[in-house]
Every structure is written in structure tokens, then in C-alpha cells.
Amino acid sequence: MGLQQFLDEHEQAAYDLQATSIHDGSEVVRRQNEVVERCPTTAWFLGPKAEQGDLWESLLTYVFRDYVHWRRNYYPGDPVTITR
């Protein structure tokens, strides 16, 4: 799975976790008697009470694992240079 596909699958979860503040130019929806802001950049912040913590954890884990996988397979025949 690529990063874009991962982000697309988690987009709705990110919107559901967004803060309830309203900014000019935002798309506002009503859900269960509360106003929820739908601003794409809000998902890229941790939030005042770490509401985005689970999303950030999964994103960072995905990126790090992908990087490790890529690095291990970049030149698989190279000898190990760092031993400890």
C-alpha cells in the first residue's frame, strides 16, 4: 500500500477527530448537534488534547517502516558496515 492510499483511507478518520472551532472559508457540517470544521490542514496538527495522536502514530509508523524496508532493499548485496 502506498502513502497516498494510506492517507486516503485515513482521511475520514482525520476529519472526525478535528477540533470544533470555525474558521472563515471552511466547510462546516452538523453532526449530532455539534459543529465540526472540515479543514484539510487541521488533520496535520496533534490537537490541544492530542486528539490526532492515534492518526499521527499510525502515519509515523507507516513512514518509518516504509523507509526501513526501502533502505534494506536499496543495495541488498552490500555488506553490513555498522555492527553495533
Q: Inter-axis angle of helices 3-16 and 53-74, to 10 degrees? A: 170
pTM: 0.47
* The pLDDT value given to residue 45: 82
Q: 13 to each of 10, 24, 63, how far by Cα in Å?
A: 5, 23, 18
Q: Rounded CA gap, 60 and 63, in Å?
A: 5
Q: What is the pLDDT of residues 8-41, one digit of tens each?
A: 776 655 555 544 334 444 555 545 555 555 667 7
Q: What is the pLDDT of residues 36-72, one digit of tens each?
A: 556 677 767 888 888 888 988 999 999 999 999 999 8
* The pLDDT value given to residue 68: 93
Around Cβ 42, how many Cβ atoms within 10 Å? 19
Q: Please name the helix (run of DSSP H) or strand (run of DSSP E) that holds residue 79, with its range, or none.
A: none
* The pLDDT value given to residue 67: 95
Q: Rounded CA gap, 37 and 2, in Å?
A: 27
Find the mean pLDDT for residues 1-12. Answer: 69
